[in-house]
Structure 1
Amino acid sequence: MPNTPSTPADIYRIRVAVPVHLYDCFDYTLTAEQYRQAEVGARVAVSFGRQNLVGIIVEKLTADTPIDPRFKLKAITELLDDQALLDQKILSLLTWSAQYYQFPVGEVFQSALPTFLRQGKPYNLLARMWKVLDLHAEDKLTRSEKQQQAYKVLKLHPQGTTENILNLAGIETATLKALEKKAVVQCILEHQDFRPQPVTLAQMPLTANEDQKKAIQQVLKAQKKYQAFLLDGLTGSGKTEVYLQIMQEVLKQGKQVLVLVPEIGLTPQTISRFQSRFHGNIVLLHSGLNDSKRLQAWQAAQTGKASIILGTRSAIYTPLPNLGLIILDEEHDLSFKQQEGFRYHARDVAMYRAHLENCPIILGSATPSIDSYALVEMGKMTRLELNQRAGAAVMPKIHLIDLKIAQKQNGISQSLIDEIQKRLDRKEQVLVFLNRRGYAPVLICESCAWQAKCPHCDANFTVHRQPYQHLHCHHCGSIHRLPEQCPQCNHSELKPIGLGTAQVEENLQQLFPHFDVIRVDRDSTSRVGSWQKIYDKIQKSEPVVLLGTQMLAKGHHFPYVTLVAILDIDSGLLSVDFRATERTAQLIVQVAGRAGRGERKGEVYLQTLRPDHPLLNTLIDKDYRHFARQTLKERQAALLPPFRYAALIRCESKSQEQNQEFLQQHAQALRQASENLIDVWGPIPAPMERKAGRYQAHMVLLSQDRARLHFYIRGWWQNMLHQKPSAMKLTLDIDPQELS
């Protein structure tokens, strides 16, 4: 018999999402007093097996809810919050995400919390306030420009200001601590004020052109309702100005705006644009923040204090009480897809969130994804075009250089060297693009042709010369010393083959000794603040050669770059992945778009061994939109995504035979269960069959009916997980973006 509230033997229960790799939520008991205080969306400390964990309450159960006989009921350890941290809309979004991406619900819920809250630390942390102590300390700071600048800013706030605001102004915490040691400033811990702050204009908007006006008006008509817009604008066409003018109207209504960008590297320039336009509380949310700053930013967003929230993909799960607009900039970028663990796509989650919040969403790009173009064709998204560059800027002309016949110096054609010299002599800037970091991709013996291969992967070692000479595998991360002689024939002449950014940097410094060469890749920007320093230097109108990987292709505004040189794009034309041509086309157009964004005309030179490749000629003779329309037709004819829905099973173990046998058995079971309504490709070895000492195999599942695909996968996938050998790793990737 069910218990009634009047009996002392009542069992009060809650259902908790516990951060374990299991697909269930779990029931816990608590006292009557705790039950009254418990809020759905609040945290609770629980015991799970031998672990003490922090979970999220997802439901307060009634007395007549059946008790699951599979699990022994335990009492909670402690209620951690007296109010919900996650509101009902975020709980719905997280639940949907767990179901759609078929990932353990407790781990999905944890992704919505900053690290400190996952660890069970208190919600109300004190804010660090900084205040000037000595109003006449200029003489103490003559040796440090940073300290002088921080001191000047703090003097503008006689009552003190928060560390978060100072950091946003470019003042580092280390600088503040140095001033504190000199007794120039003091740090005070105070309770944070979470009251929303009004937003005012700091700078008048620019005059919008006709295309921009139409886009702004269409989005503003959709305020307070769900509608998805694709802002398809040429590089340099003023997409950010469209965002800012729409944001201005949304912020006037007291609403919050969530802006997602693909990379941390884009946040400094984006935050700078927002701060120069708006006076208000703007917060950053990305993995580069320390835990304390991330919690403070998250709290400002969750309480409604912050009006503009700028973040990378994980910010999509931030609770926002007054959300009025979502903007996803560079929507085509692969960085929006999480590639490890919980493999969600922030673009798709953002669209579902906008639907839940009943607000518009803008996806912006100069090279929209083929998936987004398909949604426009299906009437699920409205396309807005920006067809002219802002101001007097015009699109750059692309020239192909045939490497088979060109005279070269260290991998750079002579004609390109001459063009670079011309631009530098005119005091202009040049961007050289090579999507391959390190010194050289191959180390080879000139005597016996031995190559330095990673012992754990089916891949060559990359040669690095900084911070010391070594071999580095970019797939498993292993590092080895550079051999002094060939291990196969003992020959001492080992030669690096091919170009990496570090070697090109050396070559460019030799070719142009009177000009700075600035390298931008993961190696050169690994230190905190290093990318900001590089970016500040580029913004000065001094002649420099800017060299880098695809970090430079993502929406940056370099007004003084008039020449873009693409050294090697051919590998993207040969990939087995059906999306490779799309990614290559996007990369070429995005990199090319860095040229000619200011007053001077820009040009692009692309070195290739395949100057007759159809993709290159389509981009030169026509444009990306023509390429996209053509690609859509090809995908439709081949019944490839987005015209069919896909899921990718990745299987990893110490034996390829074990992988193949296990996947083959379950492929057959799925075919039978679905009566062949699910198309199963594979199993086949992965493009890189061995990685980190383990063998990889793939299996792709396809269906024209998304609901049918998910229905058949659900039980089948759970069955696979229960039957897999303990040493085997299985992952399920819904809507995969890469087949590697």
Structure 2
Amino acid sequence: MPKRLASTATLPLEEDTPLEKETAVDPGNPRRAAVLLPLPLAGAYDYLIPPDMAVEPGAVVAVPFGKRELSAVVWEILPDEGRPGPGGESALPLERLRPVLEVLPVPPLTEVARRFLRWVADYTLASPGAVLRMALSAPAALQPPRPLTLYRRSEAPPPQGFRLTPARRRLLEVFEEGPARALAEAAAAGGVGTSVVKGLVKAGLVEAVSLQREPGFPVPDLDLAGPALSDRQASACETLHGCIAAQDFSVTLLDGVTGSGKTEVYFEALAAALAAGRQALVLLPEIALSAQWLERFEARFGVAPALWHSDLTSAQRRAIWRAVAFGRASVVVGARSALFLPYSDLGLIVVDEEHEAAFKQEDGVAYHARDMAVVRAQLGKIPVILASATPSIETLNNVQNGRYGRLELPERHGGALLPRIDLVDLLEDKPPRLEGMGPGGGQAWLSTALRAAMAETLAASEQVLLFLNRRGYAPLTLCRACGHRLQCPNCTAWLVEHRLAGRLQCHHCGFASRLPKTCPDCGAEGSLAACGPGVERLAEEARALFPQARLGLMTSDTLTGPDAAAEMVRAVQAQEIDLLIGTQIVAKGHHFPHLTLVGVVDADLGLYGGDLRAAERTYQLLHQVAGRAGRAERPGRVLLQTSEPEHPVMQALAGGQRDPFLAAEAQARENAGLPPFGRLAALILSSPDARQVDALASALARRVPRIEGLSVLGPAPAPLAVLRGRHRRRFLIKAPRGFRLQAVLSGWLGDVKLPSNLRLQVDIDPYSFL
């Protein structure tokens, strides 16, 4: 039974108790079922199974809940006497239970899927119903689509007295000549109105037939030849084929430099899983930016996979959910939520760019998709592949401890060389001013060395990428007269100017407004100044320096969906863009053969700020960005502008010393008892009322468990003390590895009564410290 209790399990997963055996209920014997609703409730509710209804564990059913009717899942079949209540009281008798209304026409959730949902709830301390809601994420999919009505010629003769007008004759000829047609299509083909078709139906000369409209998903062609593999790639494929043939749980890190062909290797693993008749899942950090990946998939398998991401329409989500549940979708490619789709027979999981922080879900149920993918694979006894050029310290630690295997691809495929990385010391090479550049007042951000390299590259008809991980025109706007800074009214954050859109915007809550003409504080006119660069301001400087270059902006603001992202990638590949300027989304595995120079405008951005992974994340991001240069036959070069050239991250990047750097980072974490060598959890309290949230924080602080090895920091205002109008306070809990953290937190928080407007979120293994 799922309950809001702690799990003592830590990755890797320990043996778990199997759920009730899946057997059908005797239709003649009324019984009770524990039904889990997709709501943030503490556990399942008891319902009556009507005598004439066959129900099994995992069945998706409709049940009454208050005045509503909800879709839910039968979690287990209970004995007739039911379960005692939380206080030991007797269960309600059968005759007082509300009945299950119907079993919905979709396959039941498998035992593995239910065990996985239960495990995620226990590990994250989320309510089981909140986790179930992620699995039932397409409510419309629980019913089949409406049948399509088509019309065709019947074999009946014209009834006596029925007059065949010229319009009716034409229409009958249409039906005689072709297949069944929709009403409007048939009428248009005969040049008549739909009433003529209906008249022929009434006369019996045309009959209506209903067809179910389940969208088909083409089957990948496993006979298509993939690209020629290097010896190392072929060896890696052989090892992965062995993992799949073993039909057992395993985790393999596919560790290859940028451009080494990791994708082609795990494509062969996908082919092996499909050949065995199993489904496969590929998790990507940014599915909306996967145009090139999808092209490579179609080239290898001849069809497109089923895509799952937040930009899908309701009809698309419905079709894909059902195709996965009925086993018609053999390969699913998606964002982290694709892990919770109802796979009928999942045989392989691939987590590409496993180091990416985008796999961490921050809102609602806080989970890390990479770690939960490993759990899902262990429960299902299937292999999982983690691919990265810059593996996370957590994954490397599992490799070193023998829990994960490792396959290495140390060279770029096809003989391409890794780019040369040079550091530009901004204290010595300060960007010269550009007079008359516009509202920026001549402030510049490109050093002399980077300008010279850009001029040389563009003159050679090669492409340049400028990377700055800051959206908009400027991160801060202040008044030169009084120093007032324009701040979001809903968040403790500065408003970012987006000059292209003509607005100020908060990147946390989405608040937007026009740039005022006068200072809101002192009323001075023309005193508001943009401070610091964003990509739009960088583009302004680049246009002034290289007016003939064709510029492209690649940010989440300018690429509003998969189609826009695909068009930008196509334009760069077709050399319709000479100078690409972008944020971190340009680092997501793109292959631009003519791009030979990468300039990182502010390499120090992100190095500091209280994030225990700051140095690791900065290294990973800059390494990935650098990997965009020189991926074909032309050599690449990378210039990192930094004010701290001696920083270990900069030295590791310039010297190609990834492993020593990550080893030093891991040692520092181990010395401090930080993940993966220790455990962390965060509690975030929030309320529109600051006094209310402070009162609860103080009450919780007085009840902090006093346990050896457990450290509780806080409560303290979060760095984002106000977010979306809610005041936030945080606790950070630190414990040794192996500590039963969930059990302690569950005991501490188990009987906390929250007012309706106050929220308490638990984040096990936090990635964000804002």
Shorter-chain TM band: 0.7 to 0.9
- Within 2, Cα distance between the matches of 1:159 and 1:533? 38
CA contact (8 A) 1:43 1:80 kept: yes
Aligned to 1:479: 512
- Within 2, Cα distance between the matches of 1:690 and 1:378? 41
- Within 1, Cα distance between the matches of 2:249 and 2:310? 29
Residues 1:727 and 2:750 aligned together: no
Q: Which runs of 5+ in 1 are unaligned?
A: 130-157, 161-176
CA contact (8 A) 1:647 1:702 kept: yes
Residues 1:627 and 2:644 aligned together: no
Residues 1:255 and 2:278 aligned together: yes
Aligned to 2:736: 704
CA contact (8 A) 1:199 1:252 kept: no
1:128 and 1:272, CA in 2 relative to 1: closer, same or farther beyond 3 A? farther
What TM-score do the two structures reach when normalised by structure 2?
0.82
Residues 1:560 and 2:594 aligned together: yes
CA contact (8 A) 2:106 2:143 kept: no
CA contact (8 A) 2:63 2:71 kept: yes
Give 1:195 shift.
Answer: 8.8
CA contact (8 A) 2:677 2:737 kept: no
Residues 1:429 and 2:463 aligned together: yes
1:113 and 1:20, CA in 2 relative to 1: closer, same or farther beyond 3 A? closer
Aligned to 1:173: none
How far does the alpha carbon of each residue in 1:558-616 deviate from its partner, in whole angstroms, 9 at most, with x for none? 22210111111323122111111111111110111111111111111111222222221
Give 1:524 shift.
Answer: 0.7
CA contact (8 A) 2:112 2:380 kept: yes
- The amino acid that maps onto 1:498 is G
Aligned to 2:267: 244
Aligned to 2:700: 666
1:364-443 superposed matches below 5 A = 364-405=387-428, 406-408=430-432, 409=434, 410-443=444-477
CA contact (8 A) 1:195 1:304 kept: no
1:313-712 superposed matches below 5 A = 313-405=336-428, 406-408=430-432, 409=434, 410-467=444-501, 469-492=502-525, 493-527=527-561, 529-542=563-576, 544-654=578-688, 658-672=692-706, 675-706=707-738, 708-712=740-744
Aligned to 1:715: 747
CA contact (8 A) 1:267 1:311 kept: no
1:542 and 1:598, CA in 2 relative to 1: closer, same or farther beyond 3 A? farther
Secondary structure at 1:399's aligned position in 2?
Answer: strand
1:125 and 1:562, CA in 2 relative to 1: closer, same or farther beyond 3 A? farther
Aligned to 1:214: 235
Give 1:262 shift.
Answer: 0.7
Aligned to 1:99: 122
- Within 1, Cα distance between the matches of 2:290 and 2:520? 46
- Within 2, Cα distance between the matches of 1:33 and 1:98? 33
1:39 and 1:126, CA in 2 relative to 1: closer, same or farther beyond 3 A? farther
CA contact (8 A) 2:27 2:52 kept: no
Aligned sequence identity (%): 35
- The amino acid that maps onto 1:394 is L
Give 1:661 shift.
Answer: 4.8
Give 1:6 shift.
Answer: 12
- Within 1, Cα distance between the matches of 2:149 and 2:538? 45
Secondary structure at 1:632's aligned position in 2?
Answer: helix
Secondary structure at 1:75's aligned position in 2?
Answer: coil
How far does the alpha carbon of each residue in 1:288-340 deviate from its partner, in whole angstroms, 9 at most, with x for none? 11111122122222222222211111111122233221110000111111110
CA contact (8 A) 2:36 2:129 kept: yes
- The amino acid that maps onto 1:452 is L
Larger radius of gyration: 2
- Within 1, Cα distance between the matches of 2:210 and 2:760? 47
Secondary structure at 2:332's aligned position in 1?
Answer: strand
- Within 1, Cα distance between the matches of 2:287 and 2:220? 24
1:197 and 1:503, CA in 2 relative to 1: closer, same or farther beyond 3 A? closer
- Within 2, Cα distance between the matches of 1:589 and 1:7? 62
CA contact (8 A) 1:80 1:122 kept: no
Aligned to 1:24: 43
Secondary structure at 2:414's aligned position in 1?
Answer: coil
CA contact (8 A) 1:519 1:548 kept: yes
**What is the RMSD of the two structures over their aligned residues, measured on CA atoms?**
2.9
CA contact (8 A) 2:554 2:581 kept: yes
Secondary structure at 2:415's aligned position in 1?
Answer: coil
- Within 2, Cα distance between the matches of 1:84 and 1:502? 50
For structure 1, which segment, 228-237 or 85-94, has the greater mean C-alpha deviation from structure 2 after superposition?
A: 85-94
1:472 and 1:354, CA in 2 relative to 1: closer, same or farther beyond 3 A? same
1:281 and 1:456, CA in 2 relative to 1: closer, same or farther beyond 3 A? closer
CA contact (8 A) 2:683 2:731 kept: yes
- Within 2, Cα distance between the matches of 1:422 and 1:542? 18
Determine which of 122, 139, 164 is the counterpart of 1:116: 139
Aligned to 2:296: 273
Secondary structure at 1:680's aligned position in 2?
Answer: strand
- Within 2, Cα distance between the matches of 1:605 and 1:71? 70
Secondary structure at 1:573's aligned position in 2?
Answer: coil
Residues 1:38 and 2:72 aligned together: no
- Within 2, Cα distance between the matches of 1:375 and 1:126? 51
- Within 2, Cα distance between the matches of 1:195 and 1:407? 57
- The amino acid that maps onto 2:374 is M
1:132-151 superposed matches below 5 A = none
CA contact (8 A) 2:289 2:562 kept: no
1:656 and 1:246, CA in 2 relative to 1: closer, same or farther beyond 3 A? same
Give 1:239 shift.
Answer: 0.4
- The amino acid that maps onto 1:512 is F
How far does the alpha carbon of each residue in 1:512-539 deviate from its partner, in whole angstroms, 9 at most, with x for none? 2222211111211115611111111112
- Within 1, Cα distance between the matches of 2:464 and 2:552? 10
Secondary structure at 1:331's aligned position in 2?
Answer: coil
- Within 1, Cα distance between the matches of 2:481 and 2:704? 52
1:124 and 1:692, CA in 2 relative to 1: closer, same or farther beyond 3 A? closer
Aligned to 2:79: 62
Residues 1:230 and 2:271 aligned together: no
Give 1:17 shift.
Answer: 1.0
- The amino acid that maps onto 1:446 is R
CA contact (8 A) 1:439 1:503 kept: yes
- Within 2, Cα distance between the matches of 1:372 and 1:128? 54
Secondary structure at 1:444's aligned position in 2?
Answer: strand
- Within 2, Cα distance between the matches of 1:128 and 1:312? 36
1:364 and 1:89, CA in 2 relative to 1: closer, same or farther beyond 3 A? same
CA contact (8 A) 1:264 1:288 kept: no
Secondary structure at 2:612's aligned position in 1?
Answer: coil
Residues 1:15 and 2:34 aligned together: yes
How far does the alpha carbon of each residue in 1:389-415 deviate from its partner, in whole angstroms, 9 at most, with x for none? 111211111122222332334222232
1:54 and 1:198, CA in 2 relative to 1: closer, same or farther beyond 3 A? closer
1:501 and 1:482, CA in 2 relative to 1: closer, same or farther beyond 3 A? same
CA contact (8 A) 2:294 2:304 kept: no
